[in-house]
Amino acid sequence: MRYDLNLLPVFVALMEERNVTRAAARLGITQPALSNALNRLRDTLRDPLFVRERYGIRPTQLAEEIAPVIADTLARLDDVILGRQQFDPATATRQFNIAPNSYVEFVLIPCVVAKLHQLAPGIKVSLAPFGNDLAEAGVISGMTDMALGRIVDPPENVIVQHLMDDGLACVVRAHHPGIGDSLSREQYEQLRHVNVRPPGRLKAGLFQALERQGLRRELAISVTHFLAVPEIIAITDYCATLPRLICNHLAKDTRLKILPSPADLGTFPVQMAWHVRYRQDAAHRWFRQLLVETAAELACIGDEGHNSP
């Protein structure tokens, strides 16, 4: 039997989106065009494949059975075809759609953009927010090139790579009346704190670290982004506990003072996740390596800052 390979991405989009409108938008085609492609698939496979429900569509038993085979077949084709392509960063033109969490966007992305400016001026980057939902970020469908942050429970079609670890430090205003060159547990617990809300439904590792160390923290305000913290700290007697690499940036602000945390709060991972279809994509591999190298350089800077007096 002959199969129209152009219909397979339609099937995958419908399986992953479970919604005709979203699947059409993802493929960049009209709903009538998608319906026409689906009808051809139904004729070929002699099965309805998808049944309408109140809030979308439900795959039939046959669709559920063949979905892994089709997804694997497309991934293998991508491996063969994309793996043969040549990539020259100096002359390449491409846009990468990336979903970083707020920490990565603040710490890692500016360094990556600076390297792209030098090494690959034709490469563009478009960012979308990432909490911890890979499907929402477009990684599971492959619409987004990669997510950067903390990756929780990835499915089988998503590859996860560790980039670096970071620790935690504290920031107060430079002329805080009650704080000198160090911060004791008692002082930490007496202060009021600025908290950065964890993204999505992810429970922040800081809460867990404080709990392990038996440290209490009275919150004065919770904000949605790290950028709000220095402006609040500079005009209050509050304290904030932030990733060490962010504190390295804030150390340049003369209004602020960076101090070690009063207890060992451990480290947290920074990870990269991408769809298996990009495994052999030459441009994607080059960009992933750029991220790995940049993260390694930042981790070294963070270690030097941590070890300095």
**What are the pLDDT digits (tens) for 262-293?**
999 999 999 999 998 888 888 999 999 999 99
Residue 255, both tokens: 């209004």
Q: In CATH, what number is assigned to the domain containing residue 22?
A: 1.10.10.10
In a domain, 119, yes or no: yes
Do 160 and 173 belong together in one domain?
A: no
Confidence tier at 48 by pLDDT (50, 70, 90): very high
User: Tell me: the pLDDT tens digits for 111-157?
Assistant: 999 999 999 999 999 999 898 888 888 888 788 999 999 998 898 88
Residues 141 and 179 in one domain: no
Same domain, 160 and 246: no
Contact of 38 with 52, CB cutoff 8 Å: no
pLDDT tens digit sequence for 61-88: 999 998 888 887 877 776 666 555 678 9
Longest CA–CA separation in the chain, Å? 80
Sequential DSSP letters for 24-92: HHHHT--HHHHHHHHHHHHHHHTS--EEEETTEEEE-HHHHHHHHHHHHHHHHHHHHHHHT----TTT-
